[in-house]
Amino acid sequence: MTTSNNLSRLSGGNLRFLSVPRLMLIGDRWVGAASGDTMPVFDPSSGREFARVPSAGVADVDAAVAAAKRAFETGPWRSLQPADRERLLWRLADLIECNAGDLAQLEALDNGKAVTVASGVDVPLTIRHLRYMAGFATKIHGRTIATSVPYMPGAEFFSYTVREPIGVVGQIIPWNMPLMFSAWKLGAALAAGCTVVLKPASNTPLTALRLGELILEAGFPPGVVNLITGPGGVVGERLARHPDIDKIAFTGSTEVGRKLGRICGDEIKPISLELGGKSPSIVLADARMEQTIPGVISGIFANSGQVCAAGSRLYVQRPLYEPLIAALNDAVQTLKLGPGLDPETFVGPLVSAEQKKIVCDYIASGVAEGARLVTGGGVDGEGYYVKPTILADAKQHMRVVREEIFGPVLTVAPFDDVDEAIALANDNEMGLAASVYSQDVSKIHRIVPRIRAGTVWVNCHNVYD
């Protein structure tokens, strides 16, 4: 694996961005942590540090929350018309579009993902999401309610609901699609008129900070968006506990989501949670191989498997079981593993040394518990590379089947009839997504409602609008 030229591919814009220490956005000022502490950012393709960002503490969070509260209560933001908020979000989306190439590259460098994925998926979905949410700013409606007050028979009342911004929102996002998750969080909150303190993941803080520059350039008033970098256990928990944070929006692991849910329960504070997944794919014997193979491959190996809805558990009807494993193995050998900035790369390195170790430990545990390693495993040397991995003959009790791995690891198991497949698919505590591969429309319509998942794709996986 040659990684030495990853940084040499950087654009002029990104070289400039990385040539100065990156700071946090509080109000309209770029600041370091009050303590002066910083933390490193590593290139996943080499494991080498290439930037540093502030490592915020409680005092920095408090300053950011105060700026957001001021902006919500007294700043010009509050008096903007909904159409003005819409226009600002559109302008931000336009600025992201103008800087799409640089942002895709920065994301690929920071996260390790293939730059083709960043430019083909992350950045366009970011732009479209902001434009989609921009439209909601002018379409926030309340209701009128006919009242019947039993103890005042002659009286007439006029009752209505008004949807108001909740206030200051604390937003905490993961590292797998950082720019896109920034947009998912910011778009709705800003369209609604909230102000925000957003904390990106410590592994991938850079595109959020670049986005902060574009937010100011778009003309959002100071303090409407504040960006804080620092350890989740400090920054994230302070956001959840802060009395002036009116709501938490979190995307990340189930474990941290549970913890934040408990804190917000104590604080009686609303929280929205987008958590982990262990999504099944069911392949019936009549499935078309030319649809199934690319669907399964992109379902689990796109973004190096670091997708919450990744199709990580594959159940195949017995007549197709060995032929599909052989075909998937052949397909996997054609996927190019390499540095994210190499345009030929399909599978980039994982985000961190820690994530590589977690994934390699899972693969070892699968083999130790009796799964058959068809292909894959960790790559020795610099960089956080794990080859696309297929573990066949996986059993439901194995950790690789029960727990989210969040890496390029596919477990495969056979089934005989549809009832068995549905039972296997539903036998997991996480119900994020699923997919079914078949040409039989009647069977598909009977299977889909029985799968306990938020999204069920048919003859594809990981398709996002």
Residue 252, φ and ψ in degrees, nearest 5: 170, -155
Residue 270 CB neighbours (<10 A)? 12
Among candidate residues 86, 237, 274, 404, the one labeled active-site is 274
Nearer to ligand NAP, 101 or 431 (CB): 431
- Assign residue 108 a region: left if phi > 0, alpha if psi is -120 to 50, beta otherwise? alpha
In angstroms, rounded to a whole number, what is the distance separating the alpha carbons of residues 236 and 65?
12
In angstroms, rounded to a whole number, what is the distance separating the alpha carbons of residues 145 and 459?
44
> Helices (DSSP H) in 251-397: which residue ranges?
254-267, 289-301, 318-333, 353-368
Residue 312, φ and ψ in degrees, nearest 5: -95, -15
- In the block, tokens 């990385």 appear at 18
SS3 202: coil
Residue numbers of the site for ligand NAP (CB under 6 A)? 172-176, 199, 201-203, 231-233, 236-237, 251-253, 256, 259-260, 274-277, 308, 404, 406, 432
Nearer to ligand NAP, 218 or 225 (CB): 225
Q: Measure CA of the first residue to CA of the last residue in the chain; give whole Å.
A: 34
Is 235 in contact with 207 (CB distance < 8 Å)? no
Q: What is the nearest approach in angstroms of ligand NAP to the Cβ of residue 275?
A: 5
SS3 188: helix
Nearer to ligand NAP, 308 or 371 (CB): 308
- Is 237 assigned a catalytic role? no
Q: What is the nearest approach in angstroms of ligand NAP to the Cβ of residue 67?
A: 20
Among candidate residues 194, 264, 308, 360, the one labeled active-site is 308
- Is 360 assigned a catalytic role? no
In angstroms, rounded to a whole number, what is the distance separating the alpha carbons of residues 448 and 446?
6
Q: What is the nearest approach in angstroms of ligand NAP to the Cβ of residue 440?
A: 30
What is the DSSP track for 354-388? HHHHHHHHHHHHHHHTT-EEEEEEE--SSS--EEE
Nearer to ligand NAP, 284 or 434 (CB): 434
Nearer to ligand NAP, 66 or 201 (CB): 201
Q: Mark 179-200 as b/e (b = at least 16 C-beta within 10 Å).
A: bbbbbbbbbbbbbbbbbbbbbb
Q: What is the nearest approach in angstroms of ligand NAP to the Cβ of residue 234?
A: 8
Residue type, 425: A
Residue type, 3: T
Nearer to ligand NAP, 355 or 438 (CB): 355
Nearer to ligand NAP, 181 or 321 (CB): 181
- C-alpha separations of 411 from 310, 384, 398, 404 in Å: 12, 21, 10, 11
Q: What is the nearest approach in angstroms of ligand NAP to the Cβ of residue 83?
A: 30
Q: What is the nearest approach in angstroms of ligand NAP to the Cβ of residue 342?
A: 24
Length of the chain counted residue by residue: 465
| Catalytic annotation, residues | 274, 308
